[in-house]
Amino acid sequence: MNKEASYQERLALIQKAINLEPVDRIPIAILGPAFAPRYMGMPLSEFCEDAEAALQVTLEATKRLDADAINSLVIGRFPVILTLIWLSHIRVPGRELAPDALWQVDEAEVMTPEDYDFIVEHGWQAFLNQHLPKVIDPAYLGESLAFMGANASRGVPLFRENGYVVIATGAVTIPFEPMCGARSMSKFFFDLYRMPDRVQAAMDRALPEIIAGGIGLAKAGGAMGTWVGGWRAASAMLAPKLWNRFVWPYYLKIVEALVAENITPVLHFDQDWTRDLVRLQELPAKKCILNLDGMTDIRKFKQLVGDRMAVMGDVPASLFASGTPDAMRNYVRDLVRDVGPTGLILSSGCDMPVNAKPENVEAFMAASREYGKTA
């Protein structure tokens, strides 16, 4: 089968998964910014510094594993992306860290309570303009953004030429996440207690700009979808009253805005969201993909929401890093049995970790192909 035919077949499988239609085989996606360079023998310092090399090594890893798709493709220096998500300084291999060490989120209290008022008065971008230089070198950021701007649209056709689908480009998240990173976790959570109205006013002011930015990034990347990220806002962290006020309404607005633009929201929800899975019933049916990392009860998702939403995942990082090929096979087998075959995209939960054992990754691919056949 030629590459374009492969691409079309794979695209159809993923679209059928989203549409909850029967498939001949369950599609397989991979993810793992740090895994690709480690797997292919590239130092992480090079991966972080050379965005072109990072793109190419990600493609080569996808080809070597011969997955159907990549969950999310990052064009640009990955640590810079993390700074833009969590507004925190990132320690980078080859700069502050040893050349093959994993990047580190270096969270500290940088944003102040007065910044909530600043956001209300001046807007989100104005806040970013003054905040980002505190956590990343402006010249380095400028250079990185220039590359991203110039190359954002290259990834999807590049992968397509090689027969692979890119499910998501770009990322957007609720104001909760970057504010939590910028304030630092403990300070932010106490802000929710001590000054909830002030925080909410800033979130409400920021959201339209965040949505516009997310749509812009998604369109620039050109994939079918974009990430809608959730990490610290998980149900397992936050009291229900606060989750209902500061988390869910914002996700609802983001998803509705993306769907209106024909962009598939890939709800990349790390940690445990089991308590609030039922809220996903409020989202447009057969328009989203829920991407779980192994900590949410995926079987409960299937029971509550499986008739209206696809799921991607959810092989845990710990299984890739510390498990065995047999344990991997059993996990995939049980996942297909309980959650598939319709509406399922087999994938690592979140990233394939940097220390994923190659034999476990290869076992994941083999098991996914074997147990994913439905015809």
Residue among 294, 262, 86 at smallest CA distance from 174:
86
Shortest Cβ 102–other proteins spacing (Å) = 4
Shortest Cβ 153–other proteins spacing (Å) = 26
Shortest Cβ 131–other proteins spacing (Å) = 17
Tell me the two tokens of residue 46: 């090079």
Of 68 and 293, which has the nearer Cβ to other proteins?
293
Q: Does 374 bind other proteins (CB under 8 A)?
A: no
Instruction: Identify the residue among 9, 272, 297, 362 touching other proteins (CB under 8 A).
Output: 272
Q: Does 175 bind other proteins (CB under 8 A)?
A: no
Residue 19, C-beta contacts closer than 8 angstroms, at least 6 positions apart: 286
CA–CA separation, 26 and 4 (whole Å): 19
Q: Does 8 bind other proteins (CB under 8 A)?
A: no
The packing angle between helices 358-371 and 51-65, to 10°, is 50
Of 23 and 81, which has the nearer Cβ to other proteins?
81
Shortest Cβ 160–other proteins spacing (Å) = 28
Binders in 73-112 for other proteins, by CB under 8 A: 82, 91, 101-108
Q: Does 361 bind other proteins (CB under 8 A)?
A: no
CA–CA separation, 151 and 77 (whole Å): 12
Instruction: Identify the residue among 165, 267, 354, 365 touching other proteins (CB under 8 A).
Output: 354
Q: In residues, how long is the chain?
A: 375
Q: Does 290 bind other proteins (CB under 8 A)?
A: no
Residue 180 to residues 49, 87, 154, 183, Cα–Cα distance (Å): 27, 9, 32, 5
Of 91 and 219, which has the nearer Cβ to other proteins?
91
> Within a 13 Å sphere around the CA of 212, how many CA atoms are in the beta-carbon half?
8
Q: Does 301 bind other proteins (CB under 8 A)?
A: no
Q: Does 364 bind other proteins (CB under 8 A)?
A: no
Residue 216 parent element (H or E): helix 196-221
Of 66-74, 217-225, 235-243, 281-289, the window that binds other proteins (rule: CB under 8 A) is 235-243
Residue 124 to residues 205, 247, 254, Cα–Cα distance (Å): 7, 18, 16
Shortest Cβ 56–other proteins spacing (Å) = 21
Instruction: Identify the residue among 232, 279, 302, 329 touching other proteins (CB under 8 A).
Output: 232
Shortest Cβ 170–other proteins spacing (Å) = 17
Neighbours of 363 (CB within 10 A): 22
Q: Does 270 bind other proteins (CB under 8 A)?
A: yes
Shortest Cβ 88–other proteins spacing (Å) = 9
Contact 352, 318 (CB under 8 A): no
> Within a 13 Å sphere around the CA of 263, how many CA atoms are in the beta-carbon half?
30
> Within a 13 Å sphere around the CA of 299, how many CA atoms are in the beta-carbon half?
6
**Taking the chain, what is the end-to-end CA distance rounded to the nearest angstrom?**
19
Q: Does 182 bind other proteins (CB under 8 A)?
A: no
Of 19-27, 158-166, 339-347, 349-357, the window that binds other proteins (rule: CB under 8 A) is 349-357
> Could you give the dihedral angle defined by the CA atoms of residues 315, 321, 324 and 330, in that order, rounded to the nearest 10 degrees?
-10
Which residues would be at the binding site for other proteins (CB under 8 A)?
Answer: 34, 82, 91, 101-108, 184-186, 189-190, 192-193, 231-232, 235-240, 242, 270-272, 275, 293-295, 316-323, 327, 349-351, 353-355
